[in-house]
Amino acid sequence: MPPFIILVLLSSVLSKYLDIQYVDCFVIFSASVSLIFRDAISLYKAELISEKMIHFINITLVLIVAKIISVMSGVWDFSFLAPSIEGLIDNLWSSLFVALLVILYFKITNMNSTNEDSR
C-alpha cells in the first residue's frame, strides 16, 4: 500500500507542477531506485531461501504497482491529488512542531528509563 500512495503522489506532482504528460518512465525509475537500496541489496545478502523469496516477491509487487500506476496515470489525471506548495510548507512546519513536542514530552516524563535508573 505505501508504494501505491507514494507513486500516485509522485505522478500527481509530476503532472501538476512539471507539466509532464507521460510519467511512465519516471514512476518506474523511482520505484526501481527505491528497490535498489531497500530490497535488491538485501536479496543478494540474504542467506535463507525464505528471505530471498520475500525480497523477490516484494521487488516484483512494487514493480507491478509502478506499472499499474503508470498505466492509470495515462488514463486519469492525478494532478488534483498534488498538494499546494503553501499547504506542503504548512504541513511540514506543523509536523516538525508536533515531533518537537513529543520529544519534549519524553524528556520531561523520562519514559526511556527504568525504575533502577531513577534510584
Alpha-carbon distances of 28 from 23, 34, 77, rounded to whole Å:
9, 10, 17
| Per-chain mean pLDDT for the chain | 84
> What pLDDT score does 116 carry?
58
Co-location of 36 and 62 in the same domain: yes
Co-location of 61 and 33 in the same domain: yes
Q: Please write the tens of the pLDDT for every residue from 27-80.
A: 889 888 988 888 888 888 888 888 888 888 988 999 999 999 888 888 888 888
Q: Quote the number of domains for the chain.
A: 2
Co-location of 70 and 12 in the same domain: yes
Co-location of 19 and 76 in the same domain: yes
Co-location of 30 and 53 in the same domain: yes
Query: Residue 7 belongs to what domain range?
Result: 2-82
Co-location of 15 and 45 in the same domain: yes
Co-location of 73 and 89 in the same domain: no
